[in-house]
Amino acid sequence: MTINRGARGALLGTIAIALLGMLAFLYSRTEAIDFKKDAEILALLREFRELDARWDADATRYAATLAQGTTVPDRGPTLSRILRELERVTGRPGVAAALPAIRAGMAGKSAAWETLKARHADSVGSLAAAQSTAGTLAGEAATMRLKDPGRAERYTALAAEAMALVAAARAPDGGNGSFAARVATLREAAVAAHPSLAASASAAEQALRAFLAARARENEAAQAFGFSTAGERVELLSQTISRSVQASLEDKERWRVYLFVYAAALLIGMGYLAARVFSAQAALREANESLEKRVAHRTKELSEALVKLKESEAQLVQSEKMSSLGQMVAGVAHEINTPLAYVKNSVATVRDRLPELEDAVAQSERLVGLLQSESPGQAELQEAFGAMNARLAQLREHQVLGDLEALSKDGLHGIEEISELVANLKNFSRLDRSKVASFNVNEGVAATLLIARPQLRNITVERRFGEIPSITCSPSQVNQVFLNLLNNAAQALDKPQKTIVVTTRAEGADAIAIEVADNGRGIPAETLPRIFDPFFTTKEVGKGTGLGLSIAYKIVAQHGGRIDVKSEAGKGTVFTVVLPLRPPAELAMEA
């Protein structure tokens, strides 16, 4: 069928417009993106994180200071102002969704700050009361030293101990175990010096104990303030935005590469077309000179074209096989990445928890060393016991041992998944070889399902494997057939309940059958006779080569088998592959 000059010109014009349209599309995808708003959001989040860190430092310094009248700046209003500015400039759905949680965290942190200030005021007041009662006790002891010179040394030691307790209370570690033990012996020392000092010693002891309780409540409030997650939420949001910006930049760079490759292809194509035009003109001149020469020349060109066509077909077949190999690599990478993440996260968390256990072991070794010494000090023993109990309580509170056991189980589970994947992959790892060997079809189908798992997501796959004998075949080529059929079935599914049923069974005494059934859209009756033709495809341009079923048909035919297909539009399709237990003579010679 000939095409007139007008139709040919229209066709060429359409192709040129399509090529220029693709060029314009690629150029539009490489245009710069304005990240000004993202940069403003990141700057506000950075300022928020810095102020939050300063607030934490202020709280730590504030809790460690027991002087009267100590004040620290309240960072809450400034942080609230930053949140208001974020609400004003944000345009990202992820930022808008994260702001309520950050605001709630800030509200909790502000409440914790007010609680910390109140508890700190109680600590300062109780310290002042303790200092007053201790001063009273020291004054009475000084008076008794004048009245009773015979016990002057005891009175002096009592007064010094009372003032030393006040000084120790002001120290950063004033609430440790040794301090509490010294407070407990203050009244006994007073009674031993003179019974009249018992009342003042009791008052001083009660005041010091009240200070210890207030200091403990203040420490709890400081810990509650430090556990606020507002800063961590802001840091996570900043990282999310940064990754999004980086991904956008990488996407633009990728489209620039596409544009460069496409432009180079256009130039090569134009050069090729120009060369063909010149070649055609030369051939026409030669044809005008001699008809026989032209016939010989055309015959030669047709022969070369036939060779090139066969080479192109071979290259397309190889391309289809490499596409399957690429799917295998992508599937393996995806499937290994998930369990590997289990192992990585578990090991990282175990590493983070080891310092706590190491500290507990160090505390235990110190306590054992003191117990093994000939004359351990009571104060040191009490301090060691206190530190050891505190560390054990912290380990119980943080559930360190339980977490380590769970993390170990998760890590072992991830390693077992990787081991299972590698073991199953061995059945599919011979995709680039065609040697004939004994082959268990059930194992091959299982390995192919594993490799094709990324294409089978959100699809219910039912395995109905029967008891079938092994066959002699080329495992790599048979796996190629399974993979092509599974990919076609997955691409044909267009219903909410997507199902693929894979069945293996014996077919008589000398063959086996493998069925791949789907509940997809089916194959129209007018298309069904052509599905095994090379280069025939019903997919959109660029989404299929038309070689998948053709290659599967040739492989099965070379093995002496057949492929049957049954399909009903709107209900699904069933492909049945029948393979003999023994290959044909041509294939058997390779064994």
- Reduced 3-state DSSP string for 412-456: HHHHHHHHHHHHHHCCCCCCCCCCCEEECHHHHHHHHHHHCHHHH
Q: What pLDDT is attached to residue 329?
A: 61
Q: What pLDDT is attached to residue 511?
A: 92
The answer to whether 126 and 205 have CB atoms below 8 angstroms apart is: no
Q: What pLDDT is attached to residue 319?
A: 61
Please give the helix or strand (H or E) that residue 562 lies within, else none.
strand 562-568
- Give me the mean pLDDT over the 81-89 stretch: 71
Give percent above pLDDT 70 in the chain.
Answer: 75
Give the SS3 label for residue 504. Answer: strand
Say which residues have a Cβ less than 8 Å from residue 424's Cβ, sequence separation at least 6: 446, 447, 450
The answer to whether 509 and 468 have CB atoms below 8 angstroms apart is: no
pLDDT of 130 strictly over 70 = yes
pLDDT of 74 strictly over 80 = no
Say which residues have a Cβ less than 8 Å from residue 110's Cβ, sequence separation at least 6: 76
CA pair distance 227, 210, nearest whole angstrom: 26
- Give me the mean pLDDT over the 145-153 stretch: 79
The model's confidence at residue 172, banded by pLDDT at 50, 70 and 90, is low
- Give me the mean pLDDT over the 78-87 stretch: 72
Average pLDDT, the chain: 75
Q: Which of 366-380, 414-428, 471-485, 552-566 has the lowest mean pLDDT?
A: 414-428
The domain limits of the chain are: 317-423, 433-588
- Helix residue ranges, H only, 69-92: 76-89
The answer to whether 360 and 392 have CB atoms below 8 angstroms apart is: yes
CATH of 433-588, one of 3.40.50.300, 3.20.20.70, 3.30.565.10, 3.40.50.2300: 3.30.565.10
pLDDT of 1 strictly over 50 = no
One-letter amino acid of 234: V
Q: What angle do CA 145, 147, 149 make, to 5 degrees?
A: 55
pLDDT of 187 strictly over 50 = yes
One-letter amino acid of 39: A
Q: What pLDDT is attached to residue 527?
A: 77
Widest Cα–Cα separation across the chain = 147
The answer to whether 280 and 41 have CB atoms below 8 angstroms apart is: no
**CA dist list (Å): 312 to 130, 184, 315, 317, 550:** 96, 96, 5, 9, 15
Q: Which of 94-103, 115-124, 254-263, 266-275 has the lowest mean pLDDT?
A: 94-103
Q: What pLDDT is attached to residue 501?
A: 93
Residue found by looking up tokens 């076609």 in the block: 488
pTM of the model: 0.39
Q: What pLDDT is attached to residue 591?
A: 46
- Give me the mean pLDDT over the 40-61 stretch: 73
CA pair distance 507, 577, nearest whole angstrom: 10
- Give me the mean pLDDT over the 15-29 stretch: 79
Q: What pLDDT is attached to residue 516?
A: 93
User: Residues 464, 471, 437, 416: what is their CA dihedral angle, to the nearest 10 degrees?
Assistant: 20
The model's confidence at residue 108, banded by pLDDT at 50, 70 and 90, is confident
CA pair distance 544, 538, nearest whole angstrom: 8
**CA dist list (Å): 83 to 5, 77, 101, 104, 242:** 69, 10, 11, 11, 19
Beta-carbon neighbour count of residue 298 at 10 Å? Answer: 12
CA pair distance 373, 269, nearest whole angstrom: 91
The pLDDT tens digits for 529-578 are: 777 777 666 665 445 555 677 788 888 888 889 999 988 888 889 999 99
Q: What pLDDT is attached to residue 174?
A: 52
The answer to whether 339 and 413 have CB atoms below 8 angstroms apart is: yes
Provide the 8-state DSSP code for 540: P
The answer to whether 458 and 489 have CB atoms below 8 angstroms apart is: no
Q: Which of 170-184, 284-298, 343-357, 479-493 has the lowest mean pLDDT?
A: 170-184
The pLDDT tens digits for 388-437 are: 777 777 767 766 667 667 767 777 777 776 776 666 565 555 544 457 88
